[in-house]
Chains A and B, each alone.
Chain A
């Protein structure tokens, strides 16, 4: 009887030690899978916005992801006039309006192709479509292209840094 009590106690004592160890090792394992500090630090890209030509879609790179940059032409601006959702997504640099967005389909992350003549994007993976402002034209994508955090510095755009314009877009639900 007395022995059984002692065995019970020893069992519980071991259980407690093992539980602490198990939690500790789970934390270590989780952290080992986290992105490395060097990966996180390499997260900024500066774009010179004065070099883009109107109506030509250019793909830049930020955090390994493609970034679509489209300087809106008169025609595109006229087309979207009155469409508040589209206008809210424009980034103004001087007198120019830009669409800058992460070029990954919000469905499952393929890169949609820009179709110059139609002025829209088609995702080949599951047939999703986006307009020139990055809004969804055809499902399955659940929302328009995400807009990367940016900060306007003169005619430069720093991706990865949060500026007031981006913060406003985020607060208004224009991007995630």
Chain B
């Protein structure tokens, strides 16, 4: 048996049993962060904070929410919004956080692409990040079903219909997912379960994986230069703090992180109190009606770009391209053939153009997805969707021709 001595303090008592000092070093004070990074590296911490906001507000909503087709709508729009003291606060925090979390996720993703942070041992960080994106998408979609308004119902109808696979006519699969011919009680019940238990648990597991994947390669830096963390941290510990290229995660770097988080939270609560409307679709304030489709059905803004890739084509081609758009980002570390892991702007014209074009094209796709599919907008959407696909197909070619810098 391990040898225990009489504890000299509470800390020592815990240390003998849980090795808290060692854990603290591994996770915080001797987890090394390059000095050469900027505020874009605080996005991950903002995402953690936003997830906690979702979790806490969700727990309070859960106390009054009733997952039945007859009562769900009123339990949200009447009980939570009018009867429960501060119920509106939890709902607005939850709704705004669910929307803003995607804005931050996209910034986080494009930061990763810009600085090449998915290469050279950081592939698992990227892959676990994309799995988190998928899990958050499923979480947001399942949550959107819960108020059982018109948009809940019709988004549920349209999205589950995607699983019929177009000409495959896999209606049995659609009915199996719904547990009924149309979205009804069985559907609401299972999406409720997914939203409040299974997917949040999966998200927590994935966040653990994401962090574990970071531990060995460490975070990237603004120049993409390779840092020898053993040498630099030794320098730091030996007293040459100014000469070392790295610093401690806690409390040193974390203080900067929390500064950015503070600014974010001010912006966030400004939205919650004064500008929450964008996160609550007006159409969803009508109760679900299976016999009436709203005039325009569009998803929340963060799904618009991929929705716009589905829309302009016939159903089978649309589904194939949509599926392509959903999974292609995961493979980025393997499609990018260039050995350079430096900022996009320094990788030569081809990749520089690729990056900025991809970013702007996704913004265009997002805008077109919101507009009704008519005339001019249809045409722009079609061109953008084709451009998106072509860009991904071209990526292995332009990156393998890229010169080593």
List chain A positions with a Cβ less than 8 A from chain B.
30, 33-36, 39, 43, 59, 61, 63-66, 104, 107-113, 124-127, 139-142, 176
Contacts and interface: CB of A to CB of B under 8 A. Distances in A.
B311 interface: yes
Contact of A110 (B154, B374, B378): B154
Contact of B311 (A30, A33, A63, A140): A140
Interface string B271-284: 00000000000000
Given A39-B179, A124-B295, A109 B378 contact: no
B127 to A, nearest CB: 25
Nearest to A124: B295
B352 interface: no
A46 B153 CA distance: 26
Contacts of B184: 39, 64
B169 A66 contact: no
B305 to A, nearest CB: 16
Given A63-B181, A142-B314, A39 B186 contact: yes
A99 to B, nearest CB: 18
Given A34-B176, A65-B181, A109 B314 contact: no
Q: Which 10 pairs from chain A and chain B are nearest by CB?
A: A64-B182, A111-B293, A63-B181, A109-B161, A108-B158, A110-B293, A127-B373, A108-B161, A142-B315, A109-B157
Interface string B310-328: 0101111010000000000
Given A39-B179, A66-B290, A108-B315, 17 more contacts: A33-B177, A35-B178, A35-B179, A39-B180, A43-B181, A61-B290, A64-B181, A64-B182, A64-B184, A64-B290, A66-B291, A108-B157, A112-B293, A124-B372, A127-B374, A140-B313, A140-B314
A159 B267 CA distance: 55
Contacts of B177: 33
Contacts of B175: 35
A112 B162 CA distance: 18
B22 interface: no
B296 A111 contact: no
26 contacts: A33-B190, A34-B179, A39-B180, A39-B181, A39-B184, A43-B181, A61-B290, A61-B291, A63-B181, A64-B181, A64-B184, A65-B182, A108-B158, A108-B161, A108-B315, A111-B292, A113-B293, A124-B294, A124-B297, A125-B158, A126-B311, A126-B373, A141-B315, A142-B314, A142-B315, A176-B169
B129 to A, nearest CB: 29
B164 to A, nearest CB: 9
Nearest to B160: A109
B166 interface: yes
Given A33-B176, A34-B176, A176-B169, A63 B182 contact: yes
Contact of A59 (B157, B291, B297, B311): B291
